[in-house]
Structure 1
Amino acid sequence: MIYTWPSPAKINLFLYVTGMRSDKYHYIQSLFQFINYGDTLKIIPNKKGTIELFNEHNSLLNKENSIITAAKLLKEQALYCRKKKSSNFGAKIFLNKKIPIGSGLGGGSSNAATALIVLNNLWDIKFTLKELALLSLKIGADIPAFIMGKTTIVEGIGEILHPIHTKEKWYLIVYPNIPILTKNMFSSYSLKQGTQKKTIKDLLTSPFRNDFESIAKTKIKKIKKLLSILSTYAPSRITGTGSCVFSEFNDKISAQKIYSLLPKNVQGFIAKSVNISPLHRILHEKKIQFVDY
């Protein structure tokens, strides 16, 4: 049976930089909130041992990206740990892309997480979610939160997760058609701008903000303008280190009303927050279980 698997977007309800390791990785504290919007992956396993990625037009994508990197890393780890033939670990992967690149919505990390989880099942490798999360740190610091699949406060460089339950809200998310690379934001960041590490209680009771917002507004005037407009209607911030601006509402009608007031050339969408990743909901429905699910 071939299924189409969700690769959901996230927003960072807050994001603080609290320090830096000797290897230049930054310590963060962030609240990862899944939303019911994202990409999808169709994955067809094969016994050829080849891993190929196609777009929604069935064109082969030759450029290495997070999906191919994740699949190859999983295959390598499986061969080492499970001692199976390399031909057992092949797949054709079809990506339907909706999450803009450089938007701060976590598209690349989510794609890698979905690929790792689904291929782990299709290839019958039987790694636990925690093992997959640890492995995924070799690709990107955001991926473990996507793998574990719950609304989470993230600490360290992304490997320390504190699952929490939040009140589900509606979000108007606007993309200014300008991608921002994470490495560029961190290279522009001074630790003098950093935030002192807080307790979980203080994180949840203090006003939310994003330490990268001032940099984004300085670099891209369109982001500054969008934040200025949206903040007159509802609490609004950038998400992650990307360019998307989101506004928070208690109901869908309010979000739709404000969206209708924006210029027609503004690219955006409305999404609902969810405490369980759409991917994990599908896994549960299909009774696909992991040791630490």
Structure 2
Amino acid sequence: MTESIAWPAPAKLNLMLRIVGRRLDGYHELQTVFQFLDRRDELHFQPRSDGRILLSTPLPGVPWETDLTVRAANLLKQYKKPAQGVTISIDKHLPMGGGLGGGSSDAATTLVALNQIWETGLDHATLAELGFTLGADVPIFIHGRAAWAEGIGETLTDLDLPQPWYLVLAPDCHVSTAEIFSAPDLTRNSPRIKIRDFLEGDRRNDCLSVVRRRYNKVAAALDWLDQFAPAQMTGTGACVFAAFSDASTAQAVHNRLPADLVGFVARGINLSPLLTQIT
């Protein structure tokens, strides 16, 4: 592998999200379904001989040393102690804090790419364990396949899902995941369902009603999109989405977006481009 390769970090959607309990350590027990999108960030890695880890494209308001990609690189370096360092650059296309997993995906791509570039030789299971310490969504991006997830998101069962076209809207607000998961009116005891129930149409997101009550812009985006197809929210938001059978229909709805809404059309995919790049 060479540093000139653009390493993909795709977005994800939560097609369903149920909160079925709460653990003694405060983490919530979930059932959710992950599917990737063909929209992504792209990362480049320039090996360094001085052992340092640098980020050449820091995000506004995020100190470079706290960026998830830098933390991921430092984590791998502490675990395997390679002599090399790296300069990381990110071509950012995914919105921050929208529930699309951009930061987690960037971290996962960093672990997978540097595992190859530094020749640290870790298998995917070990990389996923490391990634989990950075965030609960990191393992699904290392796993690289659409999946049913349980536990706190780390127990994965592969799914072969339809791959529709989605119109994704990004309301102009940042939803705090911590705020939503600590909200007193959040449902924390949803009955568990089977994969079959999801496949037959159970797409509930227990966070949606809480976010809708607190964030008017998310509510407005859901209401607008729901005119054209059943509107859903990914994770704790703020991004919302609807599925369409073909790109032209999704694009036609996108073309009707009011001036105060932004969005994009993307294909749902069951196999991450990161996984296909390394196999």
Matched, 1:201 2:203: no
Q: Find the partner of 1:62 among 39, 64, 70.
A: 64
- Aligned counterparts of 1:171 and 1:121: Cα–Cα separation in 2: 32
- Classify 1:110/1:64 alpha carbon distance in 2 versus 1 (closer, same or farther; 3 Å): same
Alpha-carbon displacement from aligned partner over 1:92-126 (angstroms, at most 9, x marks no partner): 00011111111000011101100000001100011
1:261, CA displacement in angstroms? 1.5
Alignment of structure 1 residues 256-267 onto 2, 5 Å: 256-267=251-262
Cα distance in structure 2, aligned partners of 1:99 and 1:53: 18
Counterpart of 1:278 in structure 2 is 273
Report the CA distance shift for 1:3/1:247 in structure 2 as closer, same or farther (over 3 A). same
Q: Give distance in 2, aligned partners of 1:21 and 1:74.
A: 28
Aligned to 1:94: 89
Paired letter, 2:271? I
Shift of 1:203: 2.9
Contact 1:4 1:42 (8 Å CA) reproduced: yes
Match of 2:240 in 1: 245
Please give the TM-score of this superposition, normalised by the length of structure 2: 0.94
* Structure 1 residue 55: Cα displacement: 1.4
Q: Which runs of 5+ in 1 are unaligned?
A: 80-85, 285-293
Partners of 1:266 and 1:201 in 2: CA distance: 35
Residue 47 of structure 1: CA displacement? 1.9
Give the match for residue 158 of structure 1. Answer: 153
Once structures 1 and 2 are overlaid, which stretch shifts more, 193-202 or 218-227? 193-202
Query: Which amino acid is 2:107 matched to?
Result: A
Partner of 1:144: 139
Which amino acid in the other structure matches residue 32 of structure 1?
A: F
Structure 2 match to 1:83 = none
Q: In the TM superposition, what are the counterparts of 1:32-181 in structure 2 within 5 Å?
A: 32-55=34-57, 62-79=64-81, 86=82, 88-181=83-176
- Greater shift in the superposed pair: 193-202 or 216-225: 193-202
Q: What's the counterpart of residue 28 of structure 1? A: 30
Letter in 2 for 1:164: L
Aligned to 1:187: 182
Name the CA distance, whole Å, in 2 between partners of 1:56 and 1:186.
28
Q: Is 1:212 the counterpart of 2:207 in the alignment?
A: yes
Offset, 1:279: 1.2
RMSD over aligned Cα atoms: 1.7
| Mapped partners of 2:184, 2:70: distance in 1 | 30
* Number of matched pairs: 275
Question: Shift of residue 204 of structure 1?
Answer: 2.4
Structure 2 CA distance for aligned equivalents of residues 191 and 220 of structure 1: 15
SS at 1:91 equivalent: strand
Residue 89 of structure 1: CA displacement?
3.3
Structure 1 residue 11 displacement after superposition:
0.6
C-alpha distance 29-5 of structure 1, shift in aligned 2 (>3 A): same
Q: TM-score, normalised by structure 1?
A: 0.89
* Residues 149, 276 of structure 1: 8 Å contact kept: yes
Name structure 2 gaps, 5 residues minimum: none
**Structure 2 residue corresponding to 1:8, chosen from 7, 10, 16:** 10
Secondary structure of residue in 2 paired with 1:261:
coil
Distance across 1 between alignment mates of 2:38 and 2:245: 15
CA distance in 1, matches of 2:244, 2:152: 30
State yes or no: 1:234 paired with 2:236.
no
For the 8 Å contact 2:186–2:210, the answer to whether it is kept is: no
Q: Which amino acid aligns with 1:34?
A: F
Deviates more, 1:261-270 or 1:17-26: 261-270
**Deviation of the 1:56 alpha carbon:** 8.1
